[in-house]
A and B are shown apart, each in its own frame.
Chain A
Amino acid sequence: MPSGSAVSAQAPRPRPWRDPRWRGLAAQALLVVVVGGLLFLAFTAARDNMRARGIPVDFGFWPQPSGFEVSQSLISYSAASSYGRAFTVGLLNTLLVAAIGIALASVIGFVIGLMRLSSNWLASRFAGAYVETLRNLPLLLQLLFWYNAVLKALPGPRQSLQAGPVYLNNRGLFAPEPLAGAGADAALIALAAGLSLAFVWVFVARGMQARTGRRPPVVLVALGLVAAPLLVAALMFGAPLHFQPAQLKGFNFVGGLRLTPEFVALVIGLSTYTASFIAEIVRAGVLAVPKGQREAAEALGLSHAQSLRLVIAPQAMRVIIPPLTSQYLNLTKNSSLAVFISFPDLVQVFMGTVLNQTGAAVPIVATTMAVYLVISLAVSFAMNAYNRRLARHGG
């Protein structure tokens, strides 16, 4: 293109203040100076303020004994444990609530989402009402409702609601606690062996189907392969588990497994609330699969269940998984509302009690935020990798 290059060669260089490159550089320099200056001023002020008020700025408090008790802990903890130990207790509780909440929310969300698509008018209306109600109410309101209006309003231990060996009262949920029995080790080994056998069988069955076109019974045989060694181990070495029931002694239950009302309220509130968002995601995902896919599956002679499992679900999951992950992250972040009902999660223990006792605002706030940030970023990176894989393997 001779004429084009001639034009650009003749074009005069713009004045520096009209040149986009210079303007860009100047704008960025300005940004650096302004933001940097503000940060500098803020940090100087913070340093002076903290020095003047004697606020600690480092992690010196970390190994000191905390002097407070925590109502629920996955690891051994007492008032003599260090602040660092309290941090771990809070973090583990947050992760525990998130894990259980995510599992429950997924189950409820998928059920409600599929119900909303059901041809049954009543079922789809019920699911619609569930979604519209729960996602239009603040999560905090729902948590307070479950905690103060439902669980705390239950009768005392002597008038517990009972379902078999499970008791529910205003002190929490009491259930038999599974404890390792005589055959526990043998059962673990048998389980590992059974699982690997089942795994091998799935591969063999796949190969058989590819060679002969016939599908051998996969699920039944695999279940048998897992169950049989367990049964044999239990017969030879004794039961792998025995249950210690919760018993009413005096004014409260002893023994067994106790879930505090705070924990139960938090898990119910988080999972039912998040489920209302997951239901909408599931619905959108299923609706995103073109109608022709189901028709084609039917034309091929697949049963309803088969077409759902082999045709609809794999395509719907591609649409569902990215927003689903962000809901899982939301649930994890929302578990910080535990602070309102005194469940000892990371925010309540560390940003609440430890911050109040030590006054070390900057290190504590920074650490807490960093924990959530690391979780979020790790999940985002995993999600991006997954999306790239999907893009590579075609949509």
Chain B
Amino acid sequence: MSDARLAELPPQARRGALGWARAHLFGGWASSLTTLCLVGLVVWLAPGLLRYLIIDAVWSAADGGACRAAGAGACWAFIGAKWPFFVYGPYPPELRWRVDLTMALGAALVAWNLWRGAPRKGLAALALLVAYPIAGFALLYGAPFLGLAIVPTAQWGGVFLSLLVAAVGIVFSLPLGVLLALGRRSKLPIVRMASVGFIEIVRGVPLITVLFMANVMLPLFVPEQWSPDRLLRPLVGVALFASAYMAEVVRAGLQAIPKGQIEGAQALGLSPWRMQRHVVLPQALALVIPNIVNTFIGLFKDTTLVAAVGALDFLRAIDVARLDPAWAGPTIATTGYVFAGLFYFVFCFAMSRYSLGVERRLARASAR
């Protein structure tokens, strides 16, 4: 485009950008000052960050030597070298295909369940919630009669353990939470009191104390020969903890169901359980899907706490690996945590976008 043509363009186009900037960046002296400060902050920080994370970063190295050099940036070679440990923990290398298979199966089943309009949704849910846990356990722990050698849970770890803790929490907290929520709204005083007591006690204490309790007290409460597996204890703790929070989410959904729905179901002669199953719960749960997903996000972040009782989850694996003398150096901690941050952020952000999408869909549906 020639300069003459440019000059002929209506001035509005340029005024548009300038006008936008004036309205959104320089509207008043306070706003202008804020803009300048933030631009200054970016100009001050961005080059250093870029250099540290990409330009000066060490992308491949056999050990930490190159990363310890003065002026070296993030040590991505460390992530590359420790990647198998981050994903599988100390799981025996020759058996890691079992973990891969379990995770691939899980991803496929989750996709089938989330894909709207997929065929045979009932079968999908059944496969994910009933068949998959059994198959997954057989694959991960081993089943001698199928020719799968046993891998004790002390050798589980890494990303796969984090996902496992989250999955167990999600799968158990939903049904337990529904039961507790129904119990809390029950007309039977003992059922109600038991539910309220459980929910309020669990919600009133930090997860760490629940995990400690599961760790030191579960073995005391069963006869000595049944002493629960060291990984099972935090799993029980996480599931119980999450179910109390889930119960409150479900209760909010139950409260939002108009009374007419219940009366209608009663007028049709449905029994209380059938009424809950076919009329109340489907509507209540659909209403609170966004909140359920938000609870899952919290649960996923909380899986990092199982490290307090000795489980080697992903974050703990990073924290262990960064102390390896072959790699230890001034940039290793930052590199490891930035990488862990990316991992958790991708999962949590994806879940929060999904919940936002469902929320919008529900809003549209109720507006219709």
Provided the pairs A27-B191, A149-B337, A369-B209 are in contact, do residues A377 and B204 lie with their beta carbons within 8 angstroms? yes
Identify the stretch in A189-197, A260-268, A336-344 within 8 Å (CB) of chain B at 4 or more residues.
A336-344
Q: Please give the number of chain A residues whose Cβ is less than 8 angstroms from any Cβ of chain B in the complex.
A: 55
Secondary structure call for the B interface: helix
**Cβ of B302 under 8 Å from chain A:** yes
Q: Which residues of A contact B200 (CB under 8 A)?
A: 377
* A120 & B27 in contact (Cβ 8 Å cutoff): yes
Q: Which residues of B contact A46 (CB under 8 A)?
A: 217, 220-221
Q: Which residues of B contact A55 (CB under 8 A)?
A: 220
* B341 & A137 in contact (Cβ 8 Å cutoff): yes
Q: Which residues of B contact A144 (CB under 8 A)?
A: 315, 319, 337
> A336 CA to B209 CA in the complex, in Å?
8
> A133 CA to B342 CA in the complex, in Å?
10
**Cβ of B222 under 8 Å from chain A:** yes
Q: Which residues of B contact A298 (CB under 8 A)?
A: none
**Out of B34, B189, B301, B302, which one reaches A118, CB within 8 Å?**
B34
**Among B191, B334, B337, residue most surrounded by chain A Cβ atoms (within 10 Å):** B337
**Cβ of A239 under 8 Å from chain B:** no
Please give me the residue from chain A that is nearest to B301 by CB atom. A138
* A136 & B344 in contact (Cβ 8 Å cutoff): yes
**Cβ of B24 under 8 Å from chain A:** yes
**Cβ of B138 under 8 Å from chain A:** no
* B204 & A373 in contact (Cβ 8 Å cutoff): yes
Provided the pairs A141-B337, A149-B333, A333-B205 are in contact, do residues A31 and B319 lie with their beta carbons within 8 angstroms? no
**Cβ of B68 under 8 Å from chain A:** no
The smallest C-beta distance from A15 to any residue of chain B, in angstroms, reads: 15
Provided the pairs A122-B34, A362-B217 are in contact, do residues A133 and B203 lie with their beta carbons within 8 angstroms? no
Please give me the residue from chain B that is nearest to A39 by CB atom. B221
Q: Which residues of A contact B24 (CB under 8 A)?
A: 119-122
* B194 & A31 in contact (Cβ 8 Å cutoff): yes
* A140 & B205 in contact (Cβ 8 Å cutoff): no
The smallest C-beta distance from A154 to any residue of chain B, in angstroms, reads: 11
> A52 CA to B348 CA in the complex, in Å?
46
Q: Which residues of B contact A43 (CB under 8 A)?
A: 221
The smallest C-beta distance from B190 to any residue of chain A, in angstroms, reads: 4
**Out of B39, B190, B337, B344, which one reaches A122, CB within 8 Å?**
B39
- Chain A proximity mask over B307-350: 1 for CB below 8 Å, otherwise 0: 11000000100010010000000100110010011001100110
Q: Which residues of B contact A148 (CB under 8 A)?
A: 319, 322, 333, 337
> A334 CA to B208 CA in the complex, in Å?
9
* A140 & B305 in contact (Cβ 8 Å cutoff): yes
Provided the pairs A122-B35, A351-B212, A365-B213 are in contact, do residues A45 and B345 lie with their beta carbons within 8 angstroms? no
> A28 CA to B183 CA in the complex, in Å?
11
> A140 CA to B340 CA in the complex, in Å?
11
**Out of B38, B301, B334, B337, which one reaches A139, CB within 8 Å?**
B301
* A340 & B25 in contact (Cβ 8 Å cutoff): no
* B35 & A31 in contact (Cβ 8 Å cutoff): no
* A141 & B206 in contact (Cβ 8 Å cutoff): no
**Cβ of B120 under 8 Å from chain A:** no
Q: Which residues of A contact B307 (CB under 8 A)?
A: 140, 340
The smallest C-beta distance from A391 to any residue of chain B, in angstroms, reads: 17
A-B contact pairs, 6 of them (CB 8 A): A45-B222, A123-B38, A140-B315, A144-B315, A153-B330, A369-B205
Closest 9 CB pairs of A and B: A376-B204, A121-B24, A136-B348, A138-B301, A42-B221, A333-B206, A336-B206, A149-B333, A28-B190
Q: Which residues of A contact B (CB under 8 A)?
A: 24, 27-28, 31-32, 35, 42-43, 45-46, 48-50, 52, 55, 118-123, 126, 132-133, 136-141, 144-145, 148-149, 152-153, 333-334, 336-337, 339-340, 347, 351, 355, 361-362, 365, 368-369, 372-373, 375-377
